Structure 1
Amino acid sequence: MDLFVVLKRSGPGPLDRVFRHLVPLLGIIALSGCSSLGYYGQLAEGQWQLLRARQPVDQVIANPATPAKLRERLAHAEQARLFASQHLKLPDNRSYRLYTDLKRPYVVWNVFATPELSLQPVTHCFPIAGCVAYRGYYQQGAARGAAALLREQGLDVYVSGVEAYSTLGWFDDPILSSMAAWGDERLATLIFHELAHQRFYVKDDTEFNESYANFVEQEGTRQWRVARGLAPVGADDSEQREQFTRLILASRERLQAIYAGPLDDAHKRMAKQAEFERLRGEYKQVRDSQWNGDKRYDAWIYAPLNNAKLLPFGLYDQWVPAFAALFREVNGDWARFYERVEQLGRLPADERKAALQRLM
């Protein structure tokens, strides 16, 4: 069978939630029907190395050689892990009760590609996970090599380092050393999100899966803070992220119109570059007038832009308000909430989307 994973983008940084929950495939056991044996082979080897390096978190904490900060971070993560199962009714298994030292900054690197004059991703389809918009590589050199081959075909390409992933319950997923620099709450939210995927997942519906898991992450984090007597999270960071995402989505819509329009290819290329400059100008205006010059997105926006780099935006929060409404309908009962989520997930895609729209 094929195994699929939810990946987290490089960071830490304010764009993490945009890129965190992407779903490439991990083909470990059966390679039947797939010609990319080399690709699957490196995934199998990378996953096996990760599994072999796992250690129980309690042993890492008890080891006197473990740095104090890591020990503290893991102890906090285990408190969040217990809360996830006891209070959020998420799976009670060994996932995130293990630790792996990767000895590198990222666990995998993702490669995205689109045609030069289209925002349609180059997809890769697999028996269980369905079609996904990128491929993951355990070696940075392999990712760069794959990206170079795609560029030679005239495609727009983007490579992104990934700090963490979940196998959606196929394996007992560890906390990774690449996550060790995260804040305690960020690590807890990852645990809530990925365990939500383990609780329920629908093939070929990224918007549903990620909106559902994002809601569990957000509501779970709110309840986790309440349980510890902490104040609600401030709205400034989330509002900036949402504003930035809206800028990207508006730019993407304009690009769609350019690519679908009557211009010849040469003029479409010129309009494409003009659009990227417009996006940077709009970003600078918002940054300086509304964010007090906060430059947290500068590195991303001023690095080279192309279609592939815009792909992940707007996919992962679309239905969060619908799941929030569903949670209210069951009066905050997590078990009933998951039952209703599963009922939605079993509907045909069109009916599922219509039901979510009604909840909105």
Structure 2
Amino acid sequence: MLAAQPIDHLVADPDTDTELKRKLTLANQARRFAENRLALPTGDAYTDYSELGRPWVVVNLVAVPEFSLTPHQWCYPVLGCQAYRGYFNLDGARTEQRQFQELGYDTFIGGVTAYSTLGWFDDPLHSGFTSLSDDRMVALIFHELAHRVLYIDEDTAFNESFATAVELEGLRLWLEKRGEGKQFEAAVQRQAQRNQTLAMVEKTSRELEALYQRKGELTRDAMRQQKEQLFAELVSEYNRRAMHWEEPGPLGKQLESLNNANIALFRQYNQYVPGFRQLLKEQDYRFDDFFDRVMALSEQDEEQRVQILEQLSQRFDEYL
């Protein structure tokens, strides 16, 4: 943040790299679209630019017990509890990862391209954004700005699914407005891949949850064997479908293995996306009304929130 420079100055500077200048100009346009069409609270976010010198801001560690799909929670001042922990230093993440692995946890470390300080600070645009393709950069801007609208303590899946829904619908409207058919088609294909992957992951998750409920009936070795078989089937099915995708899918181009932490993280960002998208659709894509409805939903207890979102999901039909 301290190293950031005003984007307007960089765009006006003749010494700024031509491609970076184009990306910054596009980001400015996306920011105005987010404020005017998507009713997102931009404030002074993304008015400055910072060069990171690496493709990620932080790396996140996710840790899940061997026979569970409920991630370990880390709790922080102000923010409450989250199902991941971020590190600026990869070695620090790996050190804590080993500690969890010694306790039998499934773990995953992944690079985080962007973040939101939830409106506490004016987050800068950075090279993690500008290194992405145009549509992915714009979508990420929408996603992170959505976190400034709403954040619920201790409900990562709600927060991330909401932001992902805003990202997807915002990108659709953005590309439609600009008449960018080629990029829109690519976004359509990525969404189809995401939907197929979510369906596969949810099916396996239901089977794993049924297995994990049998802790008292089966030996640990028997449970471990069945768990490995379920994940092997998921990896095989994903790879079979991914062979026909033009772009890498949401879990990568080809998988070698998966564990509880991988799918727990994927579900957090996607589990309730269909429900949120249906809620937005029912508001006729008036984002300010949608945000009011989501605010009201956030005030319900967790069981009620889940029930309402699942009912909305059942009504949702993909139109992309």
- SS of structure 2 residue aligned to 1:112: strand
How many residue pairs are counted as aligned between the two chains?
307
Cα shift at 1:83 = 1.2
* Corresponding residue to 2:297 among 344, 348, 353: 344
2:240 to 267, 270, 285: 285
Task: Give TM-score, length-normalised by structure 1.
Answer: 0.76
- Mapped pair 1:151 → 2:98: no
Q: Deviations over 1:3-47 (max 9, x none)?
A: xxxxxxxxxxxxxxxxxxxxxxxxxxxxxxxxxxxxxxxxxxxxx
The one of 247, 267, 273 aligned to 2:222: 267
Is the CA contact (8 Å cut-off) linking 2:239 and 2:255 kept in structure 1?
no
Per-residue CA deviations over 1:303-340 (Å, capped at 9, x if unaligned) read x4322222112233344444344434444333333223
Q: State the 1:212 CA deviation.
A: 2.7
The structural deviation recorded for 1:169 is: 0.7
Residue type at the aligned position of 2:34: A
Superposed CA RMSD: 2.5
Partner of 2:16: 66
Instruction: Indicate the residue corresponding to 2:203 in structure 1.
Output: 250
TM-score by length of 2: 0.85
**Aligned residue in 2 for 1:214:** 164
Q: Distance in 2 between matches of 1:225 and 1:138?
A: 34
CA 1:131/1:295 → structure 2, altered by over 3 Å: closer, same or farther? closer
Distance 1:191 1:292 in 2: 25
Native 8 Å contact 2:143 2:167 kept in 1 = yes
SS at match of 1:199: coil
Aligned amino acid, residue 179 of structure 1: F
Rounded to whole Å, the distance in 1 between the matches of 2:229 and 2:271 is: 28
Return the alpha-carbon distance in structure 1 between the equivalents of residues 166 and 133 of structure 2. 19
1:233 aligned partner:
184
Aligned pair 1:140/2:90, yes or no? yes
In structure 2, the partner of 1:175 is: 125
Structure 2 unmatched runs, 5+: 316-320
Matches of 2:70 and 2:282, distance apart in 1? 37
Query: Displacement of 1:75 after TM fit?
Result: 0.7
Per-residue CA deviation, residues 234-255 of structure 1 (Å, 9 max, x unaligned), is: 3332112221232223223322
Q: Is the 8 A contact 2:298 2:305 kept in 1?
A: yes
Report the Cα distance in structure 1 between the residues aligned to 2:290 and 2:248, rounded to whole angstroms.
39
Shift of residue 138, structure 1, vs aligned partner: 0.3
After superposition, what is the alpha-carbon deviation per residue over 1:177-226, rounded to whole angstroms, capped at 9, x for unaligned? 12222111211111112212212222233333233322322222222223
**Aligned ranges 1:80-159 → 2 under 5 Å:** 80-159=30-109
Question: What residue in structure 1 maps to residue 318 of structure 2?
Answer: none
Displacement of 1:78 in angstroms is 0.5
Question: Shift in Å at residue 295 of structure 1?
Answer: 6.2
1:65-121 deviation per Cα after TM superposition (whole angstroms, max 9, x unaligned) = 322111111111111111111222211411111111112222111111122233332
Query: Which AA in structure 2 matches 1:342?
Result: M
Deviates more, 1:170-179 or 1:54-63: 54-63
2:265 aligned residue: 312
1:293, distance to aligned residue in structure 2 (A): 8.5
**Any gaps of 5 or more consecutive residues in structure 1?**
1-50
